[in-house]
Amino acid sequence: MPETLLPILIFSALALAVIGAWRRIRLWRQGRPAEVDLLQGLAAMPRRYLVDLHHVVARDRAMSHTHVATAGGFVAAAVLMILVHGLGWTNPLLGGGLLVASATMFVGSLFVAKRRCDPPARLSRGPWMRLPKSLMAFSGGVFLITLSTLGLLPVEAGHWLAALVLAGLVTWGLGELFLGMTWGGPMKHAFAGALHLAFHRRPERFSAKGGGTGRSTGLKALDLDDTAVPLGVETPGDFTWNQLLGFDACVQCGRCEVACPAFAAGQPLNPKKLIQDMVVGMAGGSDANYAGSAYPSPGLGGKPVGEHSLERYGSPHGPIVAREGTALVDAGTLWSCTTCRACVEECPMMIEHVDAIVDMRRFLTLERGNTPGKGAEVLDNLIATDNPGGFDPGSRLHWAADLDLPLMADVQQAEVLLWLGDGAFDMRNQRTLRALVKILRAAGVDFAVLGTEERDSGDVARRLGDEATFQSLARRNIATLSKYRFQRIVTCDPHSFHVLGNEYGDFYPQGRDGRYDVAHHSTFISELHEGGRLTFRPWKGGSVTYHDPCYLGRYNGEYEAPRKVLAALGIQVAEMARSGFRSRCCGGGGGAPITDIPGKQRIPDMRMNDVKETGAELVAVGCPQCTAMLEGVVDAGAEVRDIAELVAEALVEHSTTQGTVRASRPATEEAIP
Amino acid sequence: MQPESRGLEVAVLVSVGRHPVTGRARRADQDARGLELALSLAAFRPDSRVRLLHAGQRDDDNETALRGYLGMARGVGTGLERLTLLEQPEGADVVPALAERLAATPPQLVVTGARAEQGEGSGLLPYVLAERLGWPLVNGLVEVESIEDDRMTLLQALPRGQRRRIQVRLPAVVTVDGAAAPARQSAFGPARRGSIKVEAALAVPDEAFAGWTLSPARKRPRRLKIVKSASARDRFKAAAGKAQGGGGQLLTDVTPEQAAEAILRLLEEEGVMR
Amino acid sequence: MNREIDTIRRDPRREWIARNRLHPEHLGVLAELGRQGASAATEWMGPNGVIRKNPHAPGFTGPNGLKRIDRSGVQQAAAAGRGAGHRMVAADERRRVTIEAPAFLVAVVPDMPGGRLSSHDRDLLGLARQLADADPARPCAVLAVAFGEHNREGGGELKEQAFAEAGVDRLLTIEGDGHTGFVPEAWLAGLVAVERELAPRHWLLPDSALGGADLGRRLAARLGERPATGVWQVDADATAPSGWRCTARGAVDRLDIQRPLPRVVLALAECAEPVSETRHAAEAMTLSQSPPEALSRIEDLGQVAVDPAGVALAEAEFILSAGNGVKDWEGFHHAARMLGATEGASRVAVDDGFMPRDRQVGATGTWVTARVYVAVGISGAIQHLQGIQGCDKVVAINRDSGCDMIKRADLAVIGDSSSILAALVDVLERDPALTRKGEKQDAA
Bridge partners for C322 per DSSP: C345, C376
Mean pLDDT by 10 residues, chain A (673 residues): 78 92 92 92 92 90 92 93 86 90 94 91 91 92 86 66 84 89 89 95 86 82 91 92 94 94 94 93 85 83 73 65 85 95 95 96 95 92 94 93 94 95 92 95 95 95 96 95 93 95 88 81 96 91 94 95 95 94 94 90 93 94 94 86 95 59 43 44
Helices and strands per DSSP (H, E), number in chain C: 14, 21
Chain A nearest-CA distance from C364, in A, is 8
Non-local (6+) Cβ contacts of A608 within 8 A are A619, A630, A633, A636, A637, A638
d(CA A549, CA A581) in angstroms, rounded, equals 10
Q: Quick one: residue B185, left, alpha or beta (phi over 0 = left, psi -120 to 50 = alpha)? A: beta
B12 touches chain C (CB under 8 A): no
Examine the domain organization and report whether A586 and A515 are in the same domain: yes
A426, C381: Cβ pair inside 8 Å? no
**For chain B, which chains pass the contact test of at least 3 CB pairs under 8 Å?**
A, C
**Cα Rg for chain B, rounded, in angstroms?**
24
Structural domain of residue A261, as residue ranges? 236-367
Contacts of C411 in chain B (CB under 8 A): 245, 248-249, 251, 262-263, 266
Mean pLDDT of chain C: 81
Q: Cα distance from C439 to chain B (closest Cα, Å)?
A: 8
CA–CA gap between residue B103 and residue B105 (Å, rounded): 6
User: Among C318, C420, C442, whose Cβ lies nearest the Cβ of B272?
Assistant: C318
Residue C91: the pLDDT is 44
Q: How many domains does chain A have?
A: 3
Closest by CA to A475, choosing from A389, A406, A386, A415, is A386
Question: Which residues sit opposite C256 in a β-bridge?
Answer: B215, C249
Considering only residues C92 and A349, tell me which one the structure prediction assigns the higher pLDDT. A349
Q: What is the pLDDT of residue A669?
A: 45
From the list A389, A428, A634, the residue facing C382 with the nearest CB is: A428
Same domain, A154 and A290: no
Closest to B117 measured CA to CA, from B38, B23, B33: B23
- Asked if A520 and A456 sit in the same domain, the reply is yes
What's the confidence (pLDDT) of residue C88? Answer: 40
Residue A182 and residue A325 share a domain:
no
Nearest to C108 by CA among C251, C300, C280, C255: C280
pLDDT tens digit sequence for A517-538: 999 999 999 999 999 999 999 9
Ranges of beta strands (E only) in A482-638 are: 485-491, 518-520, 535-536, 544-546, 618-621
Q: Average pLDDT, whole number, for chain B?
A: 86
CB contact under 8 A, C270 and B223: yes
Residue A511 covered by a domain: yes
Contact in structure between A235 and A320 (CB atoms under 8 Å) = yes
CA A142: distance to chain centroid?
39
Higher pLDDT, B172 or A92: B172
Domains and CATH numbers, chain C: 11-82 (no CATH), 98-285 (3.40.50.620), 308-443 (3.40.50.1220)
Same domain for A444 and A386? yes
Residue at A250 is within a domain:
yes
Cβ contact A632:A605 at 8 Å:
no
| Cβ pair A282, A30 in contact under 8 A | yes
C191-C192-C195 Cα angle (round to 5): 90
pTM for this model (two decimals)? 0.84
Contact A365 B192 (CB under 8 A): no
User: Which pLDDT score is estimated for A658?
Assistant: 45
Measure the CA–CA gap between B147 and B43, rounded to whole angstroms.
10
Sign of torsion over alpha carbons A590, A591, A595, A597:
positive
pLDDT tens, residue by residue, B135-170: 999 999 999 999 988 899 999 988 767 789 999 998
Q: Helix (H, G, I), strand (E, B), or coil: what is residue A62?
A: helix
Closest in C297, C298, C395 to B263, CB measured = C395
- Using the Cβ of B75 and the Cβ atoms of chain C, whether some distance falls under 8 Å is answered with no
φ, ψ (nearest 5 deg) of residue C252: 50, 60
Return the residue in B16, B19, B22 with the most chain A beta carbons within 10 A, the one to mutate for interface testing: B22
- Do B187 and A391 lie within an 8 Å CB cutoff? no
Q: What percent of chain C has pLDDT over 90?
A: 31
Query: Please, which residues 183-242 of chain B have a Cβ atom closer than 8 Å to chain C?
Result: 208, 211-218, 220, 223, 226, 228, 230, 233
Give contacts of C 31-60 with B, CB under 8 A: none
> Which residues, in sequence order, are bridge partners of residue A286?
A309
What CA dihedral angle connects A281, A282, A284 and A286, to 10 degrees? -30
B74: helix, coil or strand?
Answer: coil
Residue A397 lies in a domain: yes
A416 and A479 part of one domain: yes
State which H helix or E strand residue A481 sits in: helix A467-481
A670 within some domain = no
Is residue A181, in this structure, part of any structural domain at all? Answer: yes
Q: Give, to the nearest 10 degrees, the angle between helix A271-283 and helix A2-28.
A: 100
Backbone angles phi, psi at A535, to 5 degrees: -125, 140
CA torsion sign for C34, C39, C41, C46 is negative
Considering only residues B224 and C52, tell me which one the structure prediction assigns the higher pLDDT: C52
Contacts across the B-C interface (CB distance below 8 Å): 237
> Is residue A226, in this structure, part of any structural domain at all?
no
- Interface subset of B 55-84, CB within 8 angstroms of A: 71-72, 74-75
Over residues B17-28, the pLDDT tens digits come to 999 999 999 999
- Rg of chain A (C-alpha set): 28
For residues A305 and A347, state if they share a domain: yes
Per 3-state DSSP, chain C is made up of helix, strand and coil in percentages (nearest 5) of: 35, 25, 45
Residue in C closest to A633 by C-alpha: C348
| Residue C256: pLDDT over 90 | yes
Please report the DSSP string for A154-216 in residue order.
SS-TT-HHHHHHHHHHHHHHHIIIIIHHHHTSTTHHHHHHHHHHHT-S-GGGS--TT------
The nearest CA of chain A is from the CA of C289 a distance in Å of 55
Half-sphere exposure of C328 (CA within 13 A, CB side): 12
Interior angle at CA A561, CA A556 and CA A567, nearest 5: 155
- In angstroms, rounded to a whole number, what is the distance separating the alpha carbons of residues B125 and B122? 8
- Tell me, yes or no, whether A264 lies in a domain: yes
Mean pLDDT of B200-216: 90
Mean predicted confidence (pLDDT) in B245-249: 58
pLDDT of residue C385: 87
Q: Which residue of C has its CA nearest to B156?
A: C303
Does B100 score more than 90 pLDDT? yes
pLDDT band for position B239 (50/70/90)?
Answer: low
pLDDT band at B32 (very low <50, low <70, confident <90, very high): very high
Residue A560 shares a structural domain with residue A470? yes
Considering only CA atoms, which of A155, A199, A2 is closest in space to residue A86? A2
CA A435 to chain centroid: 32
- Residue C201: which of C175, C223, C221, C178 has the closest Cα? C223
Complex ipTM above 0.95?
no
Contacts of C364 in chain A (CB under 8 A): 593, 628
**Is the domain of A153 the same as that of A288?**
no
Per-residue pLDDT at C152: 45
Chain B nearest-CA residue for A378: B185
Report CB contact under 8 Å: A632, C386.
no
Residue C333 has pLDDT above 60, yes or no: yes
Domains in chain B, CATH or no CATH each = 9-210 (3.40.50.620), 219-274 (no CATH)
How far off is chain B from A386, nearest CA to CA, in Å?
10
Q: How many CA atoms lie within 13 A of A169 on its CB side?
A: 19
CB-neighbour burial class of residue A466 (10 A; exposed 0-12, middle 13-18, buried 19+): buried
Rounded to a whole number, what is the distance in Å from the CA of C1 to chain B's nearest CA?
41
Question: Could you tell me if A347 and A283 lie in one domain?
Answer: yes
What pLDDT is attached to residue A399?
94
* Closest by Cα among A260, A261, A265, A343 to A298: A265
d(CA A593, CA A627): 13
For residues C384-402, average pLDDT: 87
A365 and B187 within 8 Å at the Cβ level: the answer is yes
Please judge whether B75 and A466 are an interchain contact, meaning their C-beta atoms are less than 8 angstroms apart. no
- Residue A230 in any domain: the answer is no
Look up residue C267 and give its amino acid: A
Asked whether residue A396 falls in the same domain as residue A332, the answer is no
- Confidence (pLDDT) at A100: 94
Instruction: Please report, for the domain that includes residue A345, its CATH number.
Output: 1.10.1060
Beta bridge partners of C366: C361
Query: Do residue A549 and residue A591 come from a single domain?
Result: yes
User: Which pLDDT belongs to residue A315?
Assistant: 55
Q: Rounded CA gap, B94 and B126, in Å?
A: 11
What pLDDT shows up at residue C408? 85
Measure the CA–CA gap between A157 and A165, rounded to whole angstroms.
11
B24 φ, ψ to 5°? -75, 150
Q: Which residue type is seen at A620?
A: A
Chain B: residue nearest A375 by CA? B185
Q: A435 and A400 in contact (C-beta within 8 Å)?
A: no
Q: What's the one-letter identity of residue C50?
A: V
State the pLDDT at residue C219.
96
So what's the pLDDT on residue B112? Answer: 95
Mean pLDDT over C223-232 rounds to 94
For residue B183, pLDDT over 70 is answered with: yes
Give the pLDDT confidence score for residue B274 in this predicted structure. Answer: 57
